[in-house]
Amino acid sequence: MPLIPSLINGELTTSSSLPNIPVTNPANNEVIAELTCTSEAELALAVASAKTAFQSWKEVPASERARVMMRYQQLLKEHHDELATILSSETGKTLADAKGDVWRGIEVVEQAINIPSMMMGETAENVARGIDTYSFIQPLGVCLGITPFNFPAMIPLWMFPMAIACGNTFILKPSEQDPLTPMRLAELFIQAGAPQGVLNVVHGGKDQVNMLLQDPDIRAVSFVGSVPVGQHIYKTATDNMKRAQCFAGAKNHSVIMPDSNKIQVLNNLVGASVGAAGQRCMAISVAVFVGDTKKWIGELTELLKAVKPGLWDDESAGFGPLISPQAKQKVLSLIQHGKDEGATCLLDGSDFVLDKAGYENGNWVGPTVFADVSEDMVIYQEEIFGPVLCCMTVDTLEQAIALVNRNPYGNGTSIFTASGAAARKYQHEIEVGQVGINVPIPVPLPFFSFTGWKNSFYGDLHAYGKQAVRFYTETKTITARWFEDDIPSGPNMTISLK
Ligand code: NAD
């Protein structure tokens, strides 16, 4: 059985005294690897190593740091399919979806290559007579990243490449549910030329995170995961005087206007709702049908009925299993809640079992559609994180906007319409950080930032793009005055001492 090590001070280590955590294939729940849990002493070593490495890494010119990122990007591209296959083996994602997960991460590394120009400060001449002011952007020190299971390539790559390109050193604590992909990412980063201690990877769950949050040498914390954990990490990190950015759960609405293109809308909703088994923080989990479009719900249900979960290498599979039996249990209990609360279950995936020998015990749930969903229902209020779409109806765009704005989450939303005026009103009035217009899942590319709002994000500065550079750096502002009398003059150009 493969044993997954930590990466501490440039060495792969399996020396932990703690019990291992089994890593399973979600398609049949068989154990595929054992994860070593990083002990308290090893965590301290990782922080010390990152602290030492920072002293030299911060002096490496930004253009040289960018070259490490260039080599890394190249290696990631060369290993793209290998990474996607590893990712599928531990998440159950279809290969196409896994490739997308890796690719979205590579795009952030591409952005990190631009670091020299992104770290340029500002200048102003003659702020007072003979005085100039200019600013530099300098790295913080040791940064920590805590990542969720659902994008084991993309989300670690949201964090450490930008932080390290800025001149910081990094400790990554990936999800214990799928650590094989992040470890492979780390190995390739070392291969790209990252010096010892610049990236450390530690493993475990809440105990390891809580120990790291107390460590005074960690300056900034990036987290992606669920709401309760995000709130806990934001509070604990800031109580310990650290900078924090915590990306949390979501409930994303898609608003369907009567003038929209029905075929496009329905096809888009299928992929956006149940793709990746609904385990995406930008998945569309609520479809809001405006006016007569409620007649489309039946057709949408028929399309979703045709989507079949399957194994990662089955090209006809619409999506894979849920990550764990616990995740499946949670989704099944929410589906039952929906039925008990009086929502109409038009399509029920609770009993889906993959008809393939050896995979009957996987964490399968089929596409599920509820109509007649109201705001007071638990299936509307809670993030389900499964292949479940809630359909709601309103009469007007104003009512749709009010509904979305009452929801406590604000990660993503989309509107389907042929009207520029309706789209303009929606983008302006909606209290959600990422808005798609005829685009179902509006995840920004890395030259922008990933900008969730409300309960989907705790902090100020978001992931990747210019905001990440600000998050991972300090600005130093220099006000300089030079005296004309001091300009060396005469044949020897000597400076006069006063
Ligand atoms: P999770 O909160 O259970 O775990 C996330 C990380 O926190 C893991 O590394 C885990 O080991 C650690 N952790 C878990 N419990 C902890 C505790 N009590 N104290 C400290 N650390 C703890 O999340 P998950 O189930 O892995 O991921 C799914 C969640 O992530 C969903 O809610 C999803 O919406 C969210 N997510 C959000 C975004 C976003 O950008 N907003 C992106 C992806 C996923």
Cβ(287) to ligand 1 under 6 A?
Answer: no
With H, G, I as helix, E, B as strand and everything else as coil, classify residue 304: helix
Does the pLDDT at position 138 exceed 90?
A: yes
Mean pLDDT of 384-413: 98
Cβ(258) to ligand 1 under 6 A?
Answer: no
Q: Give one DSSP letter per residue of 207-234, joined into a string.
A: HHHHHHHT-TTEEEEEEES-HHHHHHHH
Question: From atom 21 of ligand 1, which residue's Cα is the shortest distance away?
Answer: 206
Does the pLDDT at position 494 exceed 70?
A: no
Cβ(175) to ligand 1 under 6 A?
Answer: yes
pTM greater than the 0.95 cutoff: yes
CA 1 to centroid of ligand 1, rounded, Å:
27
With H, G, I as helix, E, B as strand and everything else as coil, classify residue 155: helix
Question: From atom 14 of ligand 1, which residue's Cα is the shortest distance away?
Answer: 206
Does the pLDDT at position 152 exceed 70?
A: yes
Does the pLDDT at position 474 exceed 80?
A: yes
Q: How confident is the model at residue 447 (pLDDT cuts 50, 70, 90)?
A: very high
Secondary structure tally for the chain: helices H, strands E: 16, 23
Contact residues for 333 (Cβ-Cβ < 8 A; gap 6+): none
The whole-angstrom separation of Cα 481 and Cα 285 is 59
In this prediction, residue 495 carries a pLDDT of 56
The whole-angstrom separation of Cα 325 and Cα 303 is 27
Cβ(150) to ligand 1 under 6 A?
Answer: yes
* Best residue for ligand 1 mutational test, from 90, 144, 155, 209 (most atoms within 8 Å of Cβ): 209
Q: Enumerate the active-site residues.
A: 281
Q: How large a percentage of the chain has pLDDT more than 90?
A: 96
In this prediction, residue 493 carries a pLDDT of 65
CA 3 to centroid of ligand 1, rounded, Å:
23
CA 384 to centroid of ligand 1, rounded, Å:
14
CA 153 to centroid of ligand 1, rounded, Å:
14
Ligand 1 atom, smallest distance to 456 CA: 41
Cβ(234) to ligand 1 under 6 A?
Answer: no
Q: pLDDT tens, 169-193?
A: 999 999 999 999 999 999 999 999 9
Residue with tokens 């001091």: 486
With H, G, I as helix, E, B as strand and everything else as coil, classify residue 151: coil
Cβ(2) to ligand 1 under 6 A?
Answer: no
Give the N- to C-terminal CA distance of the chain in Å, as an integer.
75
